[in-house]
Amino acid sequence: MNKEIKQRFCQQLGNERVRFEERMCDHTTFRIGGPAEVFVMPESYEQIAWVIRQCRQEAIPYFILGNGSNLLVSDHGYRGVIIQLDRNLGEITVNGMEIRAAAGALLSTIAATARRASLSGFEFAGGIPGTLGGAVTMNAGAYGGEMKDVLKEVTVMNQDGEILRIPADKLELGYRTSIIKTAGYIVLEAVILLKKGNIEEITALSRKLSAQRIEKQPLEYPSAGSTFKRPEGYFAGKLIMDSDLRGYRVGGAQVSEKHCGFVINTGGATAEDVSTLMKNVTDIVYEKFGVKLEPEVKFLGRFDGR
């Protein structure tokens, strides 16, 4: 990317909202990743649309970043523009039994807002370490609940910068997918429809689910959450465990001994460590059980072994 284009980003967004060669390990829950060529933090929908138009006009790759919770960034970094939404677009408002939240709002913050308003139905998402935008795009779920259970409508931006409002029944929400993902839309905000509940009961359920996560998941280590999608008729973690891969390591990356569905960064893991480990696990599980594991983690940038 030439100097003139980089200066254009600074002029349009302000120097304080543009960074160059920003370390992506500071922006992912894996704590892994090389530098992003350009890292922008737009504060309005107009700025998002402007950045996307510039990227498309100049044929510059771009990526929308939330909390970086389901992401493995290459050790080589990302040659393009990272558009971060989580810190600047996180407004949450309550109106009756509806919560309207911007794409950058953390799921944990939305869950806390719902609890304070005595609204039930979002407890499942309280411990998912991501933002609303990513959760809607991939129809995130946990403990028997999914985003499709609570979504009413979503406001998105298409690649031409146009803003569209899509009702939930038109989102084609499936297991870790949606029309938002397949069409390349950017989530701007969403309306969540919940039920009136009892704050004590909501608090008790939230605490119960939190305790289960602490007991069963390796939250003490950096990770990207569940590493593989759930194969139909199976559980990825059990297949990995039954393949005698509990604790299996490549460099600083390890299959968690606490929960085999998680790959963790034990300290100093590289993206190549994680990528190699995932490939090896996939091959071994397929050889033993004939089941092909698919990554739930998104790979961003260049990986030498893939």
Catalytic residues: 176, 226, 296
Which residues does 93 contact at the CB level (< 8 Å), separation at least 6? 99, 100, 101
Which residues does 257 contact at the CB level (< 8 Å), separation at least 6? 218, 246, 247
- Please report which helix (H) or strand (E) contains residue 236, including its range: helix 236-242
In angstroms, the CA 237 to CA 254 distance is 13
Distance of CA 5 to CAs 47, 49, 59, 83, 110, Å?
15, 16, 12, 15, 37
In angstroms, the CA 305 to CA 276 distance is 7
In angstroms, the CA 302 to CA 41 distance is 23
Q: Quick one: angle between helices 199-216 and 107-116, nearest 10?
A: 150
> 193: which 2 tokens?
């429809």
Contacts 24+ apart (CB under 8 A), 281-285: 281/228, 281/240, 281/243, 281/245, 281/248, 281/255, 282/228, 284/243, 284/245, 285/239, 285/240, 285/243, 285/245
> 259: which 2 tokens?
């929960």
In angstroms, the CA 172 to CA 61 distance is 26
